[in-house]
Structure 1
Amino acid sequence: MGVGGNFWDMLKPYARRQEGFDFLRNKRVAVDLSYWIVQHQTATTTTTTTALNTNTINLRLTFFRTINLFSKFGAFPVFVSDGSPSPLKSQARIMRFYRSSPIHLPLSDDTSVVERNQNFLKCVQECLELLQLLGMPVLKASGEAEGLCAQLNKDGHVDACITSDSDAFLFGATCVIKHLSPNSQEPFECYQMSDIEAGLGLKRNHLIAIALLVGNDFDLKGVQGIGLETALSFVKSFNEDEVLDRLCQLGGGNTLADITDKTILKTRFPHCSLCGHPGSKRSHFKDACERCSSSTHEGCLQKPNGFKCDCSSCEQDKKEKEQKKNEAWKMRICKKITTEPNFPNNEIIKLYLNNNHTNLTDVEPFISWNNPNTEMLIDYLAFKLNWQPSFIRQKLFPLLSTILLRNVAKSQETYLLYGQYEFDCIQRTKVRFGHTFYLVSWKKSTQTVNNKSYTTPSKDPEVQEDYDELVDIFDDADVTNVYIDDGCLMTDENMDLVMAAYPEKVDQFMQQKESKEKKSRKTPKAKSAEDTSTPTSRSVQLNITQFYRSSKGETSKKSKDDDFSIAKRNAGSRKFSKSARRRLLFE
């Protein structure tokens, strides 16, 4: 999806792969919801899992991915859904469907396409309902979702876009996250427009021109016979301000004569066939040329094999030949463009250059994060996914704990899971994929709300078995980490966020940690002092006479033992064979 050809492969060398877990912490990020759903469907169709309904899988993965993006990465996601598609986009979708279909049906029979779109829209609507219950802001684009994501990014409402559609750059996005892999030290495959400009020398209008030449979501075919590398070299020969106008002129066939008129070749000066330097052979026969006479006084020398003159005339001739070759190549590209009917499509250019992809006059008031409606969320997931309420509360807990820590850091009162749990202590530090977390313990509180009591979250066997099938699809990439220990829940929390919310708890944990380290440093020294006093200590390596004790030595006196050891050493110092020394040693 997006620009045709291997467009992402062209941008691959300029991807920022050093971004870690904290890259999106406390940042706003626009999420193309359609991209997530398409990714879910692609994963399910490429696996052998057929027992789960497609809509069910979309709801499950949207639920877990949203919680991870909000709690694990600390981001503030803004979800964007597609609006009414452009007629050009609808036609291109139909063409793409019939291209991928093994049976080529007539274009008039589009019932299968309509049914497929209805199922997709149903998935999107259910995911939007789930996100609203989670308290996430949801915006609807007037057209393409990636267009609104790019607009939010360009206008500064969000810091990045999460989408795999390369059209986001053409719509004006400055930072695009193509891929997320939570179980990695570098979870983000991030592309900055500034890096692309510095590396490839391409700006927004250049990218639009490339999309027009090689194909895009609104016109799949592009210009016949022009690939990505050819389009890249062609558009780089024009400035950003003129490249689109140049394509429009070429589409009208008005500039072919202008390109050919620019070719002006100069005559090349004659060169001696003997030495290869400027001048004729006859003139050099009378008087040796200056370059040859500087080294010898016997006239011109025979030029060696592979000789190339480096005079100004030859250099100019090389430049003229290269220019002629380049302009001939441009001429071939221009002929291909002029033969393409209705090129370029001005409607596509207007769609990419449009700076308003929403019906709202101001989107900022609609970008706000609310507390999740837990009761309705539990009822919704229990109805749609047949999950037990205890299982839903357990998986929802990281989202609620993150909201609690943020509110406490801002001195705002809040409850955690109906007031059932409260911050207990920091158990230890935990390193996952190179990033350090606090393992926080949440103890159960005696407080109740509305005289209701709720059971402690626990794993339901039937739900867990179904959930394991879901996890296999993405290799455990979207699982929330919640641990249960003696009625307490433990979660992985960001260290800075815990420090801002409960500084006294962090100080207490650090003091306990220091005291434990001091005890651990003292204990090995005391043990080593005791161990060195006994010859049978494990820390002291015994010699062979101590390890293989002789019964004769135990009954003898100390003086005899000394004489015996001296005799042994004297025997070992002599030049006996190895077998003889061994017999003397154990006698």
Structure 2
Amino acid sequence: MGIKDLWTILTPFCERKPLYELQGKNVAVDLSGWVCQAQCIADYQVQPRMYLRNLYFRTCYLLLQEVNPVFVLEGKTPTLKYKTIAARNAIQFKGAKPRAPGSSLEKGRTRFNHVLKQCEEMLKIMGLTCITGKGEAEAMCAYLNEAGLVDGCVSQDSDCFAYGANVVYRNFSISQQGVAAASGGSIDVYDIRLATKTIGFGRNKVISLAILCGSDYNEGVYGVGKDSAMKWFANVTEDEILERLRLWKKLPCPDPKKICSRCGHDGPTASHSKNGCRLCKTNKSCNVSENSIKNEIAIRSKAIQCEDFPYEDIVDEFLRRKDNVDKLDVKWSQPDMKKFIQFTTKFLQWEELYSFEKFLPILTRWILLKNVVIFQPQSIKKRRNIKGVGSFEINWDCDNLVKLIPKEQLEGVDLIKLCSTIEPDVLVARRFPNMVEEFETSKKKPVKRKAKKPAANTLDKYLNLDASCFGDEDDECDLSLIVDGIISKGLPEVVKEKLKEMKEDKERVDSFFVAPSDDAAAEDLFEASFNFITDVGGDDDDDDKDGDSDDSFDERYVPLLERLKKN
């Protein structure tokens, strides 16, 4: 569809981009283009009204990517396009022919417009803006783009550039396979401003290409292709090219034998090569390459043989602006769940349960974006990551909407899962900050406290006894209790055992702090509990070498504090 070979010419200036790069942009969608694509691939026996199904899922994808679509419907059909419409109807309507132009029953694209009206009804149920142009839909899309009301046109029709569009988004894809699936959908972005800046190829040359090579409105000039046209365009400016085409018809075509094939001026080429050209102001040869003049003469001689050349009606169709839109409302209104279920049940034969599942994400996304409460979220179930986008899985309290589904369809259905959607965490945090804070708090793991290192062994730790229990031999304290207190203080096992042995010696318990004899060197029971007799072997290494062994040893008292430090 559109101008022949234009997409091929603009391919070097095309960039394949993921759909998320259109986030926040306003785009004009040529609705007829999407319908035509669906009609070409649809088998009516498998899926009735495939165009409605495809339109819904494509639109949902744009909305969930936060792209603002404006859908443009066809207006009055240009009579220039009758042959093209006849060819398309052969595919879309199983060979039905359009009514003949000028007849009393002529109503334009009546059948196709009926299809567009169904699409418009569904889009309005979804809360989206639809406008109808006075002529072609791609013309209105181009006007909106040229006026800066939208950022680009979603269309398969290259006519958009002839009507004045700057940016066209083509090959819209939400495929679940390949590159599109990996990036979450993709689209080709064509910006003719890059072509104008690089090779001087702008709107006027696009129209000239349509005249020479063919478009939806004409078949072009027989024998002229894009290569010869582009070769000639390289030697003509954007501003003068349309007038140059008009001059071809007005002025007589020169005899190739009587003009120079290099510069196009009077005089044979051989003479100009030897003596130069007076009009080119050269003494030898000419200022223009031989191929450019020969190419233009060849194209011109073929073009003027066409009766309608230079197709002023086509030039007028592309350049004359039929619509004047000063302001565009792209506001997304509230979607209507009830009407959507009724519509899809009637036209798509969807069950109410299926319609509910497909429409709920659109309704919840509208709630998050528009700050309007239709129903509240119950809770955040868990965190999700969808194609690299941090998200929350949310359970919604939408019992009133569930009532729209027949009870027999809800048998065995998990209602919590049915009323759950996955939403970007940024939108949820902005709309319901308290709920997000509560969820994050519930997911925090308790801080693990590091185990304290045991305190260094000190004498105070083991001897932190009540001093009031200690006295001389005349005190009436129960000394057995004092011994028990010392044992309970967590002393080393070897000391505990020693104390227990001493405690069993009833004769010494009563004199716990008194030496058993008058010997000053003798120990009382308290002192003995804090000393440990260690056997220290003699220096017998040399004796062993001589074969003599000695079992002698030395006795040494090791104070408790010293033992504790070693432990």
Shorter-chain-normalised TM-score: which range? Answer: 0.5 to 0.7
Question: Which of 350, 368, 377 is matched with 1:422 structurally?
Answer: 377
Counting only pairs closer than 5 Å after superposition, residues 128-139 of structure 1 correspond to structure 2 as 128-139=120-131
Aligned to 2:25: 27
Counting only pairs closer than 5 Å after superposition, residues 245-324 of structure 1 correspond to structure 2 as 245-254=243-252, 256=254, 260-261=264-265, 265-267=272-274, 320=286, 323-324=289-290
Question: Which of 328, 336, 339 is matched with 1:364 structurally?
Answer: 328
Aligned letter for 1:442?
Answer: N
Aligned to 2:38: 40
Correspondence 1:161 to 2:120: no
Question: Which of 46, 55, 61 is matched with 1:51 structurally?
Answer: 46
Q: Give the Å deviation of 1:240.
A: 1.1
Distance in 2 between the 1:57 and 1:99 partners? 14
Aligned letter for 1:195?
Answer: L
Aligned letter for 1:210?
Answer: L
Q: Give the Å deviation of 1:109.
A: 12
Q: 1:376/1:108 Cα in 2 relative to 1: closer, same or farther (>3 Å)?
A: closer
Q: Give the Å deviation of 1:428.
A: 1.6
Aligned to 1:176: 168
Q: Give the Å deviation of 1:364.
A: 2.3
The TM-score, its normalising length taken from structure 1, stands at 0.64
Q: What value does the CA root-mean-square deviation take over the aligned residues?
A: 4.0
Aligned to 1:280: none
Q: Give the Å deviation of 1:243.
A: 0.4
Q: 1:325/1:59 Cα in 2 relative to 1: closer, same or farther (>3 Å)?
A: closer
Aligned to 2:494: none
Aligned letter for 1:69?
Answer: L
Counting only pairs closer than 5 Å after superposition, residues 200-239 of structure 1 correspond to structure 2 as 200-219=199-218, 221-239=219-237
Q: 1:110/1:268 Cα in 2 relative to 1: closer, same or farther (>3 Å)?
A: closer
Which structure 2 residue ranges, 5 or more long, are not aligned? 277-281, 451-567
Q: Select the structure with the greater relative contact order (CA < 8 A; seq sep ≥ 6).
A: 1
Q: Is this contact kept in 2: 1:79–1:139, CA < 8 A?
A: yes
- 1:177-201: CA deviations, max 9, x gaps? 1112224216111111222223443
Aligned letter for 1:68?
Answer: Y
3-state SS of 1:404 partner:
helix
Aligned to 2:53: 60
Aligned to 2:423: 493
Q: Specify the structure having the higher radius of gyration (Cα).
A: 2
Q: Give the Å deviation of 1:444.
A: 2.6
Question: Which of 142, 149, 162 is matched with 2:134 structurally?
Answer: 142
Aligned letter for 1:490?
Answer: S
Distance in 1 between the 2:436 and 2:200 partners? 49
Q: 1:98/1:369 Cα in 2 relative to 1: closer, same or farther (>3 Å)?
A: closer
- 1:438-494: CA deviations, max 9, x gaps? 142123367x59xx9455999789xxxxxxxxxxxxxxxxxxxxx967446333333
Which structure 1 residue ranges, 5 or more long, are not aligned? 270-314, 462-482, 523-587
3-state SS of 1:265 partner:
helix
Q: Is this contact kept in 2: 1:2–1:165, CA < 8 A?
A: yes
Q: Give the Å deviation of 1:246.
A: 0.5
Q: 1:266/1:23 Cα in 2 relative to 1: closer, same or farther (>3 Å)?
A: same
Distance in 2 between the 1:24 and 1:229 partners? 34
Percent identity at matched positions?
25
The TM-score, its normalising length taken from structure 2, stands at 0.66
Q: Give the Å deviation of 1:233.
A: 1.6
- 1:48-87: CA deviations, max 9, x gaps? x73332xx2222222222222212x211111111011111
3-state SS of 1:241 partner:
coil
Q: 1:128/1:345 Cα in 2 relative to 1: closer, same or farther (>3 Å)?
A: same
Q: Give the Å deviation of 1:217.
A: 0.9
- 1:246-279: CA deviations, max 9, x gaps? 011112334648962177824389xxxxxxxxxx
Q: Is this contact kept in 2: 1:150–1:172, CA < 8 A?
A: yes
Aligned letter for 1:429?
Answer: R
Q: Is this contact kept in 2: 1:210–1:235, CA < 8 A?
A: no
Structure showing the higher helix proportion among its residues: 1
3-state SS of 1:138 partner:
strand
Correspondence 1:329 to 2:295: yes
Distance in 2 between the 1:182 and 1:74 partners? 15
Q: Give the Å deviation of 1:356.
A: 3.2
Q: 1:101/1:122 Cα in 2 relative to 1: closer, same or farther (>3 Å)?
A: closer
Q: Give the Å deviation of 1:403.
A: 0.7
Aligned to 2:337: 374
